[in-house]
Amino acid sequence: MTANLKKAELHCHLEGAVPPALTLSQARKYNVDTDAFLRDGTYVWHDFTSFLAAYDAVAALFRSEDDYALLTETYLDELAAAGAIYSELFVSPDHAETVGLGADRYMAGIGRGIEAARARTGIECRMVVVGLRHRGPERVEWAARYAASCGNPFVTGFNMAGEERVGAVADYARAFAIARDAGLSITVHAGELCGASSVRDALDILRPARIGHGVRAIEDAELVARLAGDGIVLEVCPGSNIALGVFADLTAPPLRRLHAAGVKVTLNSDDPPFFGTSLQREYETASRVMGFTDAELNEMTRTAIEAAFVDERTRADLL
């Protein structure tokens, strides 16, 4: 039973964490038909491209500061109830621009949700601003400049998500330099839809502390040794990998092999209701299907807190 274990999550996209019931109530509020992306309480998509389309359609139902406060609070309350003491949320100001809300009000709403959830449950949370790769280098640089200058105390990191098969990592180097120069910590999606070379490029060019997914590093033994040697932390999302067809079934994600090779790994839900998962379910699967002991799962939670983008005082409080 993993329900009683303390947990921490480093990799969850806020707009990917909308429970279908909340999507339905937002759709009623704005009089939007959801049939194209939500049927019988389940999000409808069949590959990464249609997943992104469904994800964008859900994001477009959040149009005010209050909407984002409600979403953030809803997710963090549920996470805290599952035993989580820390959450790092990936937020995309691009979505706020798309609906005309504006990045500042978007961030203010999320910040309010974080404060409300913390007051009620004690859960600690930080925001990692995400640039969307498929929107191109200029847009990702815009997100980096926004993250660097917004002055929101919850923003501690910068990331790039989206369609990994678009462009080369080097095209995005300037965005990451902007974020790093502003003192933000760096993580990046790599080694999910693309193979080991995408992880190597990310390490060489962007010098992240962590990699989102990174699991396809397993295709290259030398790279696995490099990840272990350099102490790079992988934000592993097994349920997401199965749902998106990166691996065939839950025995296939290389969490065990990466862990055995000395790579620092953590457990994460990515876009939980889209992928039929939750952080609790990820811990449970790691226990029951992959055979991790409670001690090993506790070590993963500790790894997440050690790799969290927080100040040292907060880290000490969490440990």
CA–CA separation, 98 and 291 (whole Å): 43
Q: Would you count residue 13 as binding ligand ADE (CB under 6 A)?
A: yes
Residue 9 bears catalytic tag? no
Residue 212 Cβ, how far from Zn ion at the closest point, in Å? Answer: 5
The residue type of 193 is L
Binding mask 135-164 for ligand ADE (x = CB under 6 A): --------------------------xx--
Residue 112 Cβ, how far from ligand ADE at the closest point, in Å? Answer: 23
Which residue's CB is nearer to ligand ADE, number 141 or number 192?
192
Any alpha helices (H) in the chain, and if so which ranges?
A: 20-30, 48-59, 65-81, 93-98, 103-121, 137-149, 173-181, 196-201, 221-230, 238-243, 255-260, 279-288, 294-307, 312-318
Q: Give the position of tokens 């065990």.
A: 256
Q: Would you count residue 240 as binding ligand ADE (CB under 6 A)?
A: yes
CA–CA separation, 317 and 319 (whole Å): 6
Q: Would you count residue 16 as binding ligand ADE (CB under 6 A)?
A: yes
Binding mask 163-202 for ligand ADE (x = CB under 6 A): --------------------------x--x----------
CA–CA separation, 319 and 316 (whole Å): 5
Among 192, 222, 306, 312, the active-site one is 192
CA–CA separation, 236 and 120 (whole Å): 28
CB 64 within 8 A of CB 104: no
Q: Would you count residue 271 as binding ligand ADE (CB under 6 A)?
A: yes
Residue 90 Cβ, how far from ligand ADE at the closest point, in Å? Answer: 8
Interface with ligand ADE by CB under 6 A: which residues? 13, 16, 161-162, 189, 192, 240, 270-271
